[in-house]
């Protein structure tokens, strides 16, 4: 441990820690949340929905399988960094080509270990997600406290501009096959436009696997252009992706989504997209105390009564009174929050959890096929 540079952490509740750094040498401010997944740390840290956040892993041993080119959800790490108990610098995996520390350094993200992550997780459960600062440059509580005080809060920042694609592109890769060590090719039937608010690669692969031809477009779309293309039968439906931050920050996107809804275009949405749909329909989202982050969250499908274990990554939720215009199809069994909606006034379905589960269980992956069935009816 003495070979690693010292790092210092200060939380806005006054907690102060000294630990060690195995990632980029930096000073960064972000919101700290905890993740309960036992595996899949590379997919988690490359999920654009973590932009502006520090991820505290409740799993104590991290780094064992290294990193590889396949298990990434985006081209970068948008999270500020990760906090872990034990770091395993020596990795063992036939696909790995970098250690986790090398991967973090390459993407200029912080990695901090030697900290009591159990204490951090229990604190976040009790007090809620909060802002924090981590540094390999400043060592005093007073310096860190002052920098944190002067920094904007995560809900004040629009991270969508950073994580979204700048140009439209077509995604053609399906699921990864370990037999061929390659990605399956699409069997296209219907075409959809995927609006990128921070879309994960595994979502795009599941859309392709469900039979869709997928065109990805940037977050700053214009509804008028999309409506013209829909009327010309250039595509069959729209997908609203996951993404980081407070959905209420995206005022322009909410207005544009309202126009899409008014034209009765079929829409399928996950996570942030699910929240944006609620706001576009006039229903206020709210922030959860510490959110849902991990690959072991139980939900109930209220239509089939079956229990599904799901992957989740969100800290905002939609309100109960949205049941006036939508049928609640899924509920979280931890806290009863809404996980799925089927709108009554339009061909729209949306889900708070991640059916693509990158990483996590695939018990909800059939939702991609359900949207395909919805399009067949329109």
What pLDDT, on a 0 to 100 scale, did the predictor assign at position 1? 54
> Is 354 noted as a catalytic residue in this protein?
yes
Same domain, residue pair 182 and 90: no
- Name, in order, each residue with C-beta under 8 angstroms of 10's C-beta and a sequence gap of 6 or more: 16, 17, 132, 133, 141, 144, 145, 148
Structure tokens at 267: 């829409």
DSSP per position, 251-288: HHHHHHHHHHHHTT--EEEETHHHHHHHHHTT---EEE
Give the domain-ending residue among 129, 156, 183: 156
Catalytic site residue from 31, 308, 356, 363: 356
Do 232 and 356 lie in one domain? The reply is yes
In a 13 Å sphere around the CA of 311, the CA atoms on its Cβ side amount to 24
What is the pLDDT at residue 121? 98
Quick one: pLDDT at residue 221?
98
**Active-site choice (171, 339, 354, 363):** 354
pLDDT at 369: 87
Q: What residues of the chain score a pLDDT lower than 50?
A: none
Q: What is the spatial distance between Cα 315 and Cα 129, in angstroms, rounded to a whole number?
A: 9
Secondary structure class of 223 (helix, strand, coil): helix
Whether residues 148 and 182 fall in one domain: no
Question: Among 89, 121, 156, where does a domain finish?
Answer: 156
Q: Domain span at residue 204?
A: 160-377
What is the tally of structural domains in the chain?
Answer: 2
pLDDT for res 184: 72
Q: d(Cα 318, Cα 60) in Å, to the nearest integer?
A: 32
The question of whether 271 is a catalytic residue gets the answer yes
Q: Which residue in the list 271, 314, 349, 363 is annotated as catalytic?
A: 271
């Amino acid at each position: 441990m003495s070979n690693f540079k010292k790092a210092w952490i200060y939380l806005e509740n006054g907690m102060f820690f000294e630990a060690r750094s195995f990632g980029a040498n930096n000073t960064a401010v972000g919101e700290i949340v905890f993740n309960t997944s036992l595996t899949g740390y590379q997919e988690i840290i490359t999920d654009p929905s973590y932009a502006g956040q520090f991820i505290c892993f409740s799993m104590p041993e991290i780094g064992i399988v290294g990193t590889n080119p396949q298990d990434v959800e985006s081209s970068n790490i948008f999270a500020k960094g990760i906090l872990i108990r034990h770091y395993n610098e020596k990795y063992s995996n036939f696909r790995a080509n970098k250690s986790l520390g090398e991967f973090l350094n390459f993407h200029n993200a912080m990695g901090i270990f030697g900290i009591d992550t159990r204490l951090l997780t229990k604190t976040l459960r009790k007090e809620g997600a909060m802002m924090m600062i981590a540094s390999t440059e400043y060592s005093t509580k007073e310096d860190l406290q002052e920098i944190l005080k002067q920094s904007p809060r995560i809900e004040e920042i629009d991270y969508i501009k950073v994580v979204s694609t700048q140009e439209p592109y077509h995604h053609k890769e399906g699921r990864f096959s370990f037999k061929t060590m390659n990605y399956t090719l699409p069997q296209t039937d219907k075409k959809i436009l995927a609006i990128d608010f921070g879309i994960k690669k595994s979502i795009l692969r599941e859309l392709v696997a469900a039979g869709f031809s997928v065109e990805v477009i940037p977050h700053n779309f214009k509804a008028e252009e999309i409506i013209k293309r829909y009327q010309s039968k250039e595509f069959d439906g729209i997908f609203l992706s996951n993404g980081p931050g407070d959905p209420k920050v995206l005022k322009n996107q909410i207005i544009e989504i309202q126009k899409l809804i008014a034209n009765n275009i079929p829409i399928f949405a996950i996570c942030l997209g699910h929240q944006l749909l609620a706001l576009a329909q006039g229903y206020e989202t709210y922030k959860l105390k510490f959110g849902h982050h991990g690959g072991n969250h139980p939900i109930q499908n209220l239509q089939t009564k079956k229990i599904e274990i799901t992957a989740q990554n969100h800290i905002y939720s939609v309100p109960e009174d949205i049941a006036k215009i939508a049928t609640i199809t899924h509920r979280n069994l931890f806290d009863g929050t809404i996980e799925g909606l089927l709108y009554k006034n339009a061909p729209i379905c949306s889900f708070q959890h991640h059916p693509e589960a990158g990483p996590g269980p695939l018990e909800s992956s059939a939702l991609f096929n359900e949207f395909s069935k919805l399009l067949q009816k329109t």
